[in-house]
Structure 1
Amino acid sequence: MEPPSIRHTLTSSVLFSFFIFLFHHSAAQPPDADGYTCSTNHTADPCQAYVFYRAAAPGFLNLATIADLFWVSRLQISRPSNISDSNATFPLLSGQPLFIPINCFCKSLNASVSISYANLSYKINHGDNFWQVSTFKFQNLTTYQSVEVVNPTLVAVDLPIGIDVVFPIFCKCPTHTQSQNRVSFMVSYVIQPTDTLPSIASRFGVETLDITDANRPNPEPFETIFIPVSRLPNLTQPIVVSPSPEQALVPVVEGKNRAVTGLAIGIGIVGFLLIVVVGLWVCGVGKRRSKEREMEEGVEKQRVQDIGVWMRKEKGKQIEVDLMADVSDCLDKYRVFKIEELNEATDGFSESSLIQGSVYKGSIGGVEYAIKKMKWNAYEQLKILQKINHGNLVKLEGFCIDPEDATCYLIYEHVENGSLYSWLHGSQRQKLNWRTRLRIAIDVANGLLYIHEHTRPQVVHKDIKSSNILLDASMRAKIANFGLAKSGYNAITMHIVGTQGYIAPEYIADGVVSTKMDIFSFGVILLELISGREAIDDEGGVLWMRASTGFSEGKEKLDRLRSWVDEALFEQSCPMESVMDVMNVAVSCLQKDPMKRPSMVEVVYALSKSDDAVFEFSDDTLSDPPLAAR
């Protein structure tokens, strides 16, 4: 324990720094507290940027936690930060410097103001507020005022635990002039009380004038400034010292020659023995040193391996604890499988059991399951799956956690006839007739209607596509893969995920997550069912763009539709009126303005009317739904 005088000094220092901080944030707020204005006409937007971050206690003394905070991987931090891959799992020292990559955007707040920032989604925990997270977790790389600006619907003093909040991390993209001067990145750096602009310039290997030109005059402590660099400087990292074994005692080989029979003979024998002894001693020392080096290298290698195994086990145990805590209220609903059962069912997750991607087929107790292997924590997905139950959604049967390698597994019902994509675009000999296609469309619409209207909060699937629509033995459709699903409405994210050709325009442009993006993707599914074409062709052409411009009102509309219809449907007596009705639904779902798209209630109603028309059509002209030849 440190002496009282040292504790008093430390306490005084902390309090002094804290009061400086309070004074800065209460009496001398910089004019950029709401964010840094930008113009896409003058900068490259979006761009890759970096933030300078310092490891800190409590909670942020390892790369894994910091990587989760900034939505990046450990390697994305360790490599630009000059930390070797072998040390990426080791604990960090308090204050250890890091470079963290971010994606920087110039975003419009209103008709006249745009600010530059990286959108980072943060889930509110107990005790969190805008100021506390901005100041301590994000280390003043944003401000609570800016958080309030980009989250106008949230009340800062009444944040529900678990809600996702966008924290705008201040950043800038190089101007066109800076890019011409070979500036590759702008690094966001928070000024510390002991910093001066020359000392910051020296740390980053740039001129002080470069910093002053890129920032407002007279920046203050705890304010974010931007450092223009052509390349990131090499950060000086502490050396990881590993304990070495105690030095082995080197025995001294001594030889004594006590038998001297004569002066001449004795000198000869002594000389010979001395040569032999010296030779043996040199060889012995060399061998011992070689063995010592091998022992040290072996001990170091084993130590690194042991630390890695320990950390993986600890991470796995923590994931298991977290997952069980989050789904404790539904353990009676789902079966908790053992990893040994899954290994046996899939023959050790062999390629012969692989269905697609990371999904394997396995039989447990005579029942076929689809087993999805997850490389990340799956409890967010489980929290969504536990509250949905509908015949047109693939049913989750249980889950498994393997603490040895921190892997989660979700075990679903096995849907026999595979994906809609394989039937429409694969090598299936039997083609789907119109009645089957229409039933599939209605099934998918009913599944989306359920998650949009009958879950609280609403669930957005975010990845509706033909490969995520599975067909059972009766060729009825079920929506699968809720890995990207989002619980909530009109959230905003900069982490754009999904499948090209199905993603709604407003999601790509502004990161808006709403049920309307599922409706847009469903419109693409309808186009696939009508035309038999893929969402993106071999030349990169997008299916929905051709449809949205090619079906305006007019006498030629039916002729254009005929040029779209899958040739396989012409082999049947397909009612074109029904196809036209479905095409009208598809085009309405594909409106670029999400507010003009119908709700799933309206979609289901329109498709059901078309289905009634098909049933009135002669059954003789519609073959029975084909069975999969698998």
Structure 2
Amino acid sequence: MNWILKIVITLIFYPTCIKSQQKYSGNSALRCDGIDEKNPSESILYTCNGEYLSCRTFLIFTAKFPYNTVPAIAALTSSDEADIVKLNNVTRFVVFPEEQEVIVPVNCSCSDQYYQANTTYQIPNEHKTYYTIANDTYQGLSTCKSLKRANSYSEWSLLPGQKLQVPLRCACPTREQVSTGTKFLLTYSIGRGDTPDALSKQFNLSVTRIREANGLSDKFTAIYPFTTILIPMLSEPSSSHAMIRAVAALSVVIILSLMLIFRLHKKPQQILHSPRDLILEIARFDRALRVFRFSEIKKATGNFGSKSKLNGSVYHGTFRKEVFAVKKKSRIAEKEVRLLHKLNHFNIVKLVGFCEHKDNLYLVYEYMKNGSLLEWLGRRGSDDLKGWIERFRIALDVANGLLYLHNFTNPAYVHNNISSSSILLDGNLRAKIANFSLARTANGSALTRIVGTKGYMAPECLDVGPITPKVDVFAFGVLLLELITDKYPIFVQDGRERLLSTAIAAIMESPNAETELSCFVAPGLSENGGLEHAIQVVMLSLSCLRQDPEDRPDMVEVVSVLLKVQLNIHKRARAIGTKTELSMDDQIC
């Protein structure tokens, strides 16, 4: 069996074809129509053609009120405040001059053919459209097409308070670029007067290098405001690369062009921005935790009534027009509060605020409409789609959250209690990691007692020793098996309890592995060629479940494998002409 595992992992890990560069979108990125899911287009986002499927990358954002402070820009882009402070050589409290370029670091990863950095945006008023959000708020760092593709709301009926998924344009270097010294790709939004020659001087690069990175065939190729080009960086950008853009009126031709495009894509209403709108919008990006009064908590939860109870000590609460989840905890949760306040990632549940009352802490979180992954997998007779695409998106969300915890926080953290009950799903079935009560710093904290959830604990958790990220990798391996089987990590078979991981490993060692596995996975998942995906997931899971932590992959490798499998799932879905490829019809085994 080991040789099969090695072959599968090798085939998945190493792409066979890597293109040489990205292609400049031209002004097609400013259009809102013509989304073609079958053929990837640079007018949506940059395509996944890099040597790596995830990487650290950078954006240039131009400071404009109300997005002219570190907290506001960090919240808008889901970036880390400390990194913005360091890269731009400023303090957290600086107010950037108008039109000052700000370097923003983001985590870029491949998802369904396209590279993207994920963030969210809550609509502040009723006069927003996908076009204005992409080109006004995000300055062309997102596109109207990508927003329409990522959200289910109608283009003309966006309402205040709705939260949008915003894919930001980014990319990882190709193999050819890496071989010539490129370490990072910086996404630069074109402004008035920008040319490849001017940008080559600003970033101290040859103009040829910039043109090749964007497929600009010759010096006469036009580049347009509100579109982006990629700057191939030999090292991390610094404050010396950020300039104050000239504040001047656009030429008559550009103004007329933008007015025409805007007329075609704006809702037929006048856009009004009152001072109050702006104040509310910037206030929303204050990263400080909200401190709630106990009277507010009681009122929002109906005095902790049974109608508001979600489960255990968690309640549904309505604070004016905002809906949050309220969790009652003891004061020992102060450490968890401090940790969650430091974390800022789409796939980690957001702590909104807290309330201290007597001997208890009341933690106020973003509300996750679809509850836990455990509950979702166990629902029967619901209208929820549970095909490969939905399940795999959940797996990737959890993997990306762990990747952030292990590699992009300082210090690195181990969640230490990953399970299907600690993964929450929002209204769009996007997964976020919750329950950080057992989280510890990586490689620094020693286990003094057995902690975790039965069925998910790695073998080393039974011994005293330092906690490493490989504990989370092991638990994630179990989670993958849950996702494809709908079974608990410890389930009853033939009247006795069995570990799910042990049962799957035994199946893969049997002579009729494929047949047995097809009957073991969740109904419908093995149909229409889905068994191939199941085998790939099982092989990845078994590599995560190895006894020796050193033999397990890290989350960088795990995400890379998942992205490759996800790409195959979407290709198969398009080939059979369905949105989600596989139904959940019952299967007879």
The structure with the greater share of residues assigned to helix is 1
Which protein has the larger Cα radius of gyration, Structure 1 or Structure 2? 1
TM-score norm. by structure 2 comes to 0.47
Question: TM-score scaled by structure 1?
Answer: 0.44
The one of the two structures with greater contact order (alpha-carbon pairs below 8 A, sep at least 6) is 2
